[in-house]
Amino acid sequence: MLVFRYDKSFDGLLTAVFDAFNRKSFPEMLIGMNDIEPLFATEIFDVMTDDEKSKRVWSGLKKKLMSVSQNMLAYVWLSEEEGSDMLIFRYVKKVFENEQSVEMNFADDDVLGVRNTAKRVNTEKHRMIEFVRFQKAADNLYFAAISPDTNCLALITSHFRSRFADQQWIIFDTKRSYGFHYNLKTISEVTFENDILFKDGRLDEKLMAEDEKIFQNMWKAYYKSLTIKERINPKLQRQHLPQRYRKYLTELQD
């Protein structure tokens, strides 16, 4: 069994595709640099990530695929699901090996797998846009914490840059310990320890603006006033608002 070992980056995966076609030998498994080698591996090939090789593969895909299909590959990568890298590899291999387009051949398990995985990431993306709740800090910087199942943070920043163009903000993924900061001009990646600013997804009260707590209480009161106890349907609520999102919603905090 041929195994390719790479650095678990997207560029590394595209480099692995380039090397496979160059070698005319294709792996049955992809592993990370620190992963345990499989017992039945007959050969381990180390992929050295090369930006030029990855760009050539990506450019080649651009010629063979519609833009929406190419974007789906990026979405599958961001899913972080086990085996997603091998799914992308098999899909890309089929794209380059077939003269006819394969992107609509949903009878193929890999084509269907890419579509369904990308769809799950897209659903998570839209949920994050709906459920982000900003909290105002004393320095007028707005903070929001999220912890999506997929690594979709980069997919929502353009929405908030457009929606809140006149405010500085940070959206932070507590699950992956990184976020993005908008300074009214550009968006840049930031990292810091979660517990420095957030506790259970909420900004530390010592760092809040004086009127933030007031606005939070007003929002909770408004939400409560709209509730009709006789029509509460927990099952339907869980369907539309999964439990894992609720800890970051101001209106649902105790």
Domain termination site, one of 72, 100, 124? 124
The answer on 191 and 97 residing in a single domain is no
Residues 119, 147: contact at Cβ < 8 Å? no
Please count the helices (runs of H) and the strands (runs of E) in the chain. 10, 10
- Using the 3D structure, point to which of 98, 124, 150 is the last residue of a domain: 124
pLDDT digits (tens, 9 = 90+) for 84-122: 999 999 999 999 999 999 999 999 999 999 999 999 999
pLDDT > 70? residue 74: yes
Count of structural domains within the chain: 2
Together in a domain, 247 and 141? yes
pLDDT (tens digit per residue) in 16-70: 999 999 999 999 999 999 999 888 889 999 999 999 999 999 999 999 999 999 9
Q: How is residue 120 written in tokens?
A: 């799950």
Let me know whether 164 and 69 are in one domain. no
Helix (H, G, I), strand (E, B) or coil at 1: coil
Distances (CA, A) of 251 to 73, 143, 176, 254: 36, 16, 25, 8
- Same structural domain for residues 104 and 158? no
Residues 207 and 246 in one domain: yes
In the chain, what are the helix, strand and coil shares in percent, each to the nearest 5? 50, 15, 35
Of the residues 87, 105, 124, which one is the last residue of a structural domain?
124
Domain boundaries, position 209: 132-252
The answer on 21 and 91 residing in a single domain is yes
CA distance 122 to 78: 10
Q: Do 245 and 185 share a structural domain?
A: yes
Examine the domain organization and report whether 142 and 118 are in the same domain.
no
- Tell me the average pLDDT of the chain: 91
